[in-house]
């Protein structure tokens, strides 16, 4: 159970949302399957459950993730995870096999590739939109840097989306860059973030 979350509001309010401790996320384990859903402890709001199903292997690594669509089951997503040397190297995202209308008749999928340094820290991920298995130029490039030498306290939180990228590295990144490209190779957004952590006398990150 994770207590606290970001409650999204309608765009008509003029606000994106706010953080509240009245939201919580439950993780229910049934053998190798984990169901992750959002709930509220308040009668004032009822958040979307945002249900996700994870299937784990014997090493507690994700091998499959299912994300049902709230509004259209043709947008249900299934993700398959691939590993090499005990590190995640690819995530393939597929939808129900429903072709689009001609002339744009194709099968849409997504592919994300992961790259690491010699210390086992994620340095870059490349996320591609594919049509019939071919990259179409629409992509997201994420880079991770300025790693510390501390143990990573987020590694146990890999089933929570907001911590996923942090959880797959040995140490903690303090710099992040995300660049999105359209199908013509033009940059549509460029986001950079940095963090400052506190450390104890042994050089390990302090979690309050």
- Predicted local confidence at residue 195, as pLDDT: 96
**Cα 179–82–37 angle (5° rounding)?**
75
> pLDDT digit string (tens) for 91-125?
999 988 665 666 667 888 999 999 999 999 999 99
- pTM of the complete model beyond 0.95: no
Omega into 103 within 30° of 0, i.e. cis?
yes
- Predicted local confidence at residue 132, as pLDDT: 87
Would the pLDDT of 207 be above 90? no
d(CA 133, CA 117) in angstroms, rounded, equals: 28
- Predicted local confidence at residue 47, as pLDDT: 76
- Predicted local confidence at residue 4, as pLDDT: 79
> pLDDT digit string (tens) for 148-192?
999 999 999 999 999 999 999 999 999 999 999 999 999 999 999
Specify whether the CB–CB gap between 109 and 130 falls below 8 A. Answer: yes
């Amino acid at each position: 159970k994770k207590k606290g979350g970001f409650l999204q509001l309608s765009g008509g309010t003029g606000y994106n949302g706010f953080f509240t401790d009245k939201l919580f996320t439950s993780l229910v384990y049934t053998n190798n399957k984990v169901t992750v859903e959002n709930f509220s402890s308040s009668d004032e709001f009822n958040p979307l459950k945002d249900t996700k199903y994870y299937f784990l292997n014997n090493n507690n690594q994700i091998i499959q993730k299912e994300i049902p669509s709230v509004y259209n089951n043709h947008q249900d997503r299934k993700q398959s995870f691939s590993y090499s040397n005990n590190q995640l190297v690819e995530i393939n995202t597929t939808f129900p096999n429903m072709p689009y209308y001609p002339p744009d008749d194709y099968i849409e999928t997504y592919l994300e590739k992961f790259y690491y340094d010699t210390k086992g820290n994620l340095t870059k991920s490349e996320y591609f939109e594919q049509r019939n298995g071919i990259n179409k130029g629409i992509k997201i490039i994420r880079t991770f840097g300025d790693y510390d030498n501390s143990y990573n306290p987020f590694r146990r939180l890999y089933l929570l989306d907001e911590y996923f990228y942090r959880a797959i590295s040995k140490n903690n990144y303090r710099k992040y860059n995300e660049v999105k490209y359209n199908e013509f190779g033009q940059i549509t957004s460029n986001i950079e973030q940095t963090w400052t952590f506190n450390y104890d006398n042994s050089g390990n990150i302090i979690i309050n």
